[in-house]
Structure 1
């Protein structure tokens, strides 16, 4: 076995047992043991204490011994793995047999007393088709248990066919959905993860989906759609489309399809209107009409909107010097957005030697270079009406009413109303239910806009 196969195998086994993937230290320990290094050498390479490395290594070896029915020790680690001749695959909870992917039971696949081809084939009774090539590996999962429970309920309990997971970039949409997939992979015969960051026409996407299910695409688009929906009816499928906002038009109100991708709108509608047993998850920074339905009784559509995290645990792996007060202030300042916090953590380590209190003493909210680049792209996606609204909102310290905005903007009433709705659907503006209703601009985006030249 190669080192990559060893790590994949160990990661799958530990996830099946503990529900957590290997962390960086565990991977380094496995690599070091495989290469015959001493615990002291491994500890020096990882900048950890030898006692900690020994402790974690002992737990890893004990878990492998219990699960595989073999006495794993540091001295026999490599020879035992080679003798077991265990095959693994890139995707979790899947092994390969010929040209097909199959679900497996870890106890069956990993038990050396049963690990022969005839018994394995008998245990693997139903072929499945999984393509998680573009899905990320999730190591840490922070404080999203309620959202995870809600997503699980929508799919597993309520059989909702179209689910949109929405929120600002970096808020944790992809992490949440991947966590759900990791926990429930075995419940689906087909699981396919696709990204629309570099989108393709719907017909080509359907070709990819059919190819994953080992079906040759028919000639016409209608025939291909029928093929796909036959699969959605016959098999329990989970299809995930990430970065859906890239099929929308830049410079217009949110959720407006580019002409070349207009077919996606009809496809999403058909998903909800056709009887089948499968599910489509859409992840996007923008909401469109197909992602939410006011009549839940008629159409099985639901949206899950993510806000920022408030748990200090998110800072624990970032190497920052923080107490409870400064940690919570940092999270609040950057609205609990994991992507913003990771960018800021790098800056705090580089310039402030990891001291969060010193960083917070700076005058004003710091926008990193990475955040600046991200906000530039986001600002350019807005329509001209939205750009005028957010620039005006950035001038106010407190939330403002629609009437007050109208007095400062040369916009028609309908443009202002549509612009405010669109900005809420981009999660840049929030509505405060007071009398009158007030509108508030995202704090980090406000600070970015204050540094822009006037339009």
Structure 2
């Protein structure tokens, strides 16, 4: 069996149906007889990250083939084939021993159990974070467009790739020292907090190097002066720029995700299509998703009326929810009357 045939075989065996870029590098190397150290040297990835990726891959394949898979027996198991079980949880726990225990702290993250289609955005973001190993990713968009919900859903999807997942809202504008103290206490609970901001930043970067961490900072624009246009920091919050600079510029194995209505200056300086800092403009939801939002609010109308209100608010989820309530409460459920008489003013928050 060739390497390409083996990759296709295990892709079918896994529930997700594919290997990410680093998993494919690891599998190719093991299949062709190279060590983890050689793989790290050839690929440019950290040796520890290659080992951790390999372990997680063997664990996933153990679930797919109902027996323990390692670098030593993977070739034999894939070549002879195996029976894929219905549920990985059916296996005896002693078959697979966890290499790491993920730590998750979701702070004030919102409930996204009801989430409207963002398939294209999530696919691109997962590619950036998991495969391209971006260090800093920014979700940009107007108020109410769904940046917060997208950030939570994204974190839920990629969390298996990280040892630590921390989601924080900056709506209450914590000082940088408050944020850094919070993060360091979670990532390195047995260490002292340095007295200076510079020391705290260095300690955080050390943590981001030592472990694969995902840190989401929602409402980053609350720290900026204009919040929608300006990328300048409010008085006493300029040090956040140094945080972004270090996260963007210094090599580490983690990822920081921001949501914001304005692009911070450090993102402008370091971002690029092929670089480790990238930005994703978040637009309105698709017409189909917008229709689901209106239906969930109990708003009904003709296809033309639904299309008109969706177009009027450019697929902004918050605007659509507010409009649906207004149509029902003020315009007796008539979308036509509402659009003819009212204009929704979405206040900047």
CA drift of 1:200 comes to 1.6
> 1:300-315 to 2 correspondence within 5 Å?
300-311=276-287, 312-315=291-294
CA drift of 1:206 comes to 0.7
Q: Quote the residue 1:337 is aligned against.
A: 316
Q: Which of 332, 336, 346 is the equivalent residue of 1:357?
A: 336
Q: Quote the residue 1:245 is aligned against.
A: 221
CA drift of 1:253 comes to 5.6
Q: Quote the residue 2:63 is aligned against.
A: none
* Deviation string, structure 1 residues 115-144 (Cα, Å, up to 9, x no partner): xxxx58x84442332110211110222231
In 1, Cα distance between equivalents of 2:134 and 2:271: 13
Q: Which of 303, 306, 317 is the equivalent residue of 1:327?
A: 306
CA drift of 1:305 comes to 0.4
Q: Quote the residue 2:267 is aligned against.
A: 291
Q: Quote the residue 2:201 is aligned against.
A: 225
* Deviation string, structure 1 residues 46-71 (Cα, Å, up to 9, x no partner): xxxxxxxxxxxxxxxxxxxxxxxxxx
Pair 1:204 & 2:183 matched: no
Uncovered stretches (5+) of structure 1, i.e. residues with no partner: 1-16, 19-105, 378-455
Runs of 4+ with >6 A deviation: none
Aligned to 1:191, what secondary structure does the other structure show? strand
Q: Quote the residue 2:153 is aligned against.
A: 179
Distance 1:245-1:297 versus aligned 2 partners, 3 A rule: closer
In 1, Cα distance between equivalents of 2:152 and 2:311: 26
Q: How many residues align?
A: 260
Distance 1:263-1:153 versus aligned 2 partners, 3 A rule: same
In 1, Cα distance between equivalents of 2:231 and 2:273: 24
Aligned to 2:217, what secondary structure does the other structure show? strand
In 2, Cα distance between equivalents of 1:251 and 1:296: 23
Q: Quote the residue 2:109 is aligned against.
A: 135
In 1, Cα distance between equivalents of 2:227 and 2:130: 38
CA drift of 1:237 comes to 0.7
* Deviation string, structure 1 residues 150-196 (Cα, Å, up to 9, x no partner): 11111111111111100001101111111111222121101111111
In 1, Cα distance between equivalents of 2:228 and 2:260: 16
Q: Which of 126, 133, 146 is the equivalent residue of 2:120?
A: 146
Distance 1:326-1:255 versus aligned 2 partners, 3 A rule: same
Which structure ranks higher in relative contact order (CA pairs < 8 Å, sequence separation ≥ 6)?
2
Q: Work out whether residues 293 and 302 of structure 1, in 8 Å CA contact, stay in contact via their aligned partners in 2.
A: no
In 1, Cα distance between equivalents of 2:262 and 2:313: 20
Q: Work out whether residues 199 and 247 of structure 1, in 8 Å CA contact, stay in contact via their aligned partners in 2.
A: yes
Aligned to 1:246, what secondary structure does the other structure show? helix
* Deviation string, structure 1 residues 338-397 (Cα, Å, up to 9, x no partner): 10111111111112333323423x24x4226xx3xx24x6xxxxxxxxxxxxxxxxxxxx
CA drift of 1:292 comes to 2.8
CA drift of 1:250 comes to 4.5
In 2, Cα distance between equivalents of 1:237 and 1:174: 19
Aligned to 2:236, what secondary structure does the other structure show? helix
Pair 1:366 & 2:340 matched: no
* Deviation string, structure 1 residues 408-442 (Cα, Å, up to 9, x no partner): xxxxxxxxxxxxxxxxxxxxxxxxxxxxxxxxxxx
Q: Please provide the CA RMSD for this pair.
A: 2.7
In 2, Cα distance between equivalents of 1:302 and 1:251: 19
> 1:157-176 to 2 correspondence within 5 Å?
157-176=131-150
Distance 1:314-1:127 versus aligned 2 partners, 3 A rule: same
Distance 1:263-1:189 versus aligned 2 partners, 3 A rule: same
In 2, Cα distance between equivalents of 1:367 and 1:314: 17
Q: Work out whether residues 193 and 239 of structure 1, in 8 Å CA contact, stay in contact via their aligned partners in 2.
A: yes
Distance 1:323-1:154 versus aligned 2 partners, 3 A rule: same
Q: Quote the residue 1:422 is aligned against.
A: none
